[in-house]
Structure 1
Amino acid sequence: MDTAERHERAADRGGARSAAVRRAPDHDIPAARGGRGPAPGREQPAAAGESAGQAGRPSCRPLWVEEPARRRRLPDPVREAAVRAVLIIAVTLIQAVVAFLCTMAGSWLAFPMVLSSVASTVVATWAALDVWVTRQVWSQRNGVVSAPNSTARSLRRERRRARREARVVERTQERIRRRGGAGRLSHP
């Protein structure tokens, strides 16, 4: 229970707030007493000393409370590789189970399923490594890794140098235009 709810409960006990509808702090959803109450749409019996206006009012509470994320979201390329790896690993596990069941049943499908399971295991291993490699590459290119030989640092340096050279060329052209040289480097 947070501080605002404590103050509201104290005010309700003292009779300061009679039939006013309390609202959840960040939504326009009526809040239940103490954060708990019957399911939405059910009537709550009147407690001793409560006004008749509050007795017939249904109490509602929010379905969920949003909390800040504990960790930052993965970068898009890394997340795509991770989703791909999870799907491939899931298919590999299903194939392994089917191969095992076919072997136990003595089905003709057992041998092809075992072969495909072995191939899928190789692909699943590659997919798991792909997530790791993609994460490392993204980190190095986007400056997360702070090392003297970081690729990100040299890429930023090159971009700054290119912007600086572009500004110098632009200033030179502007200077020539202001002098009335019409694009010529020397005057007659």
Structure 2
Amino acid sequence: MGTAERRGAPTEGGPAHLAARRNPDARDHDIQAGRGGTGPAGHATAEERPYDRPLWIEESARRRRMPDPVRTAAVRAVLIIAVTLIQAMVAFLCTLAGSWLAFPMVLSSVASTVVATWGALDVWVTRQVWNQRNGVVSVPSSTARALRRERRRARRQARAQERIRRRGGTGQLSHS
């Protein structure tokens, strides 16, 4: 727990009244510390009543959402890997039980392992391709961002030149 929370200072992303003062020595961090007494007539003040606090405080995501193609490949890989693990478990249990189904299940588990490996590699390749096509713009000095800015500037200049040509101008800005 930080010093700002103990002193009742506003927390990041929330107004001052959401930053409840907490007892730093309490084992249960939901227990609030007293503020030196109660309100008028011995009643607890609004800040001391726990049910006046919000149930949760919205926090921004720590990481950006994965691009759609990468997320699709990841979901597909997770499903394939889950089916592969179930097949391997069934093959193992059939082997222990001495069932005739053990041999076909072992063969299908081997094939499924190959497919699961392909699925995991597909996620990696899809992510690399997406990054290469769209650029990584995680930092302000990103090369991709600078290249896009340069392309936009060139397009704007080309459009401006085209407008001047259409108007029949000789490139002069004034008519004097």
TM-score range for the pair, normalised by the shorter chain length:
0.5 to 0.7
Match of 2:140 in 1: none
CA displacement 1:136-185 (0-9 Å, x = unmatched): 1111111239xxxxxx79x9688887776666555433439xxxxxxxxx
Match of 1:175 in 2: 168
Match of 1:135 in 2: 127
Match of 2:44 in 1: 54
Instruction: Name the CA shift for 1:129/1:25 in 2 (closer, same or farther; >3 Å).
Output: closer
Match of 2:112 in 1: 120
Q: Which has the larger radius of gyration?
A: 1
Query: How many angstroms does 1:83 deviate by?
Result: 1.7
Alignment of 1:100-115 (within 5 A): 100-115=92-107
Q: Secondary structure at the match of 2:64?
A: coil
Quick one: distance in 2 between partners of 1:26 and 1:81?
A: 40
Report the aligned-residue RMSD.
4.2
Quick one: distance in 2 between partners of 1:158 and 1:29?
A: 46
Q: Is 2:86 the counterpart of 1:94?
A: yes
Q: Is 2:77 the counterpart of 1:76?
A: no
Query: How many angstroms does 1:129 deviate by?
Result: 0.8
Match of 2:30 in 1: 36
Q: Identity over aligned residues, as a percent? A: 60
Query: How many angstroms does 1:80 deviate by?
Result: 1.7
What's the TM-score, normalizing by structure 1? 0.56
Instruction: Name the CA shift for 1:49/1:132 in 2 (closer, same or farther; >3 Å).
Output: closer
What's the TM-score, normalizing by structure 2? 0.59
Instruction: Name the CA shift for 1:7/1:168 in 2 (closer, same or farther; >3 Å).
Output: closer
- The code of the aligned residue for 1:128 comes to A
Quick one: distance in 2 between partners of 1:161 and 1:33?
A: 56
Instruction: Name the CA shift for 1:170/1:31 in 2 (closer, same or farther; >3 Å).
Output: same
Aligned partners of 2:91 and 2:105 also within 8 Å: yes
Query: How many angstroms does 1:70 deviate by?
Result: 3.9
Aligned partners of 1:31 and 1:62 also within 8 Å: no
Quick one: distance in 1 between partners of 2:4 and 2:18?
A: 18
- The code of the aligned residue for 1:53 comes to H
Instruction: Name the CA shift for 1:113/1:161 in 2 (closer, same or farther; >3 Å).
Output: farther
Quick one: distance in 2 between partners of 1:7 and 1:159?
A: 47
| Count of aligned pairs between the two proteins | 147
Quick one: distance in 2 between partners of 1:160 and 1:47?
A: 59
Aligned partners of 1:85 and 1:128 also within 8 Å: yes
- The code of the aligned residue for 1:54 comes to A
